[in-house]
């Protein structure tokens, strides 16, 4: 209902706030943070190679493949590593980290990583045609969700 005393701007703000509340969904996420040690000290070609090697190792893990095939994984590049956001279980990122560690040892790779896991609530803001850059936010973690194809990206 339009409040004549406060004018159209007040009504529009209330309406927009209600729409935004509908777009927000609270979820529990389990995040595996992966960081390449001494990345900034590497030459550009070595940095590129390290990121490619990390991507190859991560994508070859069973946990990654399982979550990816079920559309339950959000991947974020962080420049010198990545964040993998799992939504099913807090054990999933831990198992993925163990698989990554085993793969590095088996391949005798000189890639050195720091890995950590954090779990907690995040708010998911779905993309819409009017707001194409909505994110979901938790404790210092930003994630995007693409509403057009219904997948986290």
- Could you tell me the two tokens for 43? 């030459």
Q: Is the pTM of this model over 0.75?
A: no
User: Could you tell me the residue ranges of all domains in the chain?
Assistant: 25-121
**Residue 70: CB atoms within 10 Å:** 10
**What would the pLDDT profile of 98-133 be if each residue is shown by its tens digit?**
999 999 999 988 899 999 999 998 876 554 444 434
Strand order, beta sheet including 73-77: 73-77, 81-86, 24-36, 113-125, 135-137, 142-146, 151-152
Confidence class for position 84, pLDDT limits 50, 70, 90: very high
Q: Domain 25-121 carries which CATH code?
A: 3.30.70.1230
3: pLDDT strictly greater than 80? no
What pLDDT does 135 receive? Answer: 45
């Amino acid at each position: 209902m339009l409040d004549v005393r406060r004018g159209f701007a007040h009504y529009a703000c209330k309406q927009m706030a209600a729409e935004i509340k509908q777009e927000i969904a609270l979820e529990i996420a389990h995040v595996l943070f992966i960081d390449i040690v001494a990345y900034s000290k590497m030459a550009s070609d070595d940095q590129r190679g390290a990121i490619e090697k990390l991507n190859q190792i991560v994508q070859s893990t069973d946990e990654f493949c399982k979550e990816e095939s079920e559309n339950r994984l959000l991947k974020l590049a962080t420049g010198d590593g990545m964040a993998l956001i799992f939504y099913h279980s807090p054990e999933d990122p831990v198992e993925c980290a163990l698989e990554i560690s085993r793969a590095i040892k088996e391949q005798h790779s000189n890639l050195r990583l720091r890995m950590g896991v954090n779990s907690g609530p995040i708010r998911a803001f779905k993309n819409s045609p009017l707001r194409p850059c909505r994110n979901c936010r938790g404790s210092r973690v930003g994630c995007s969700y693409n509403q057009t194809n219904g997948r986290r990206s």
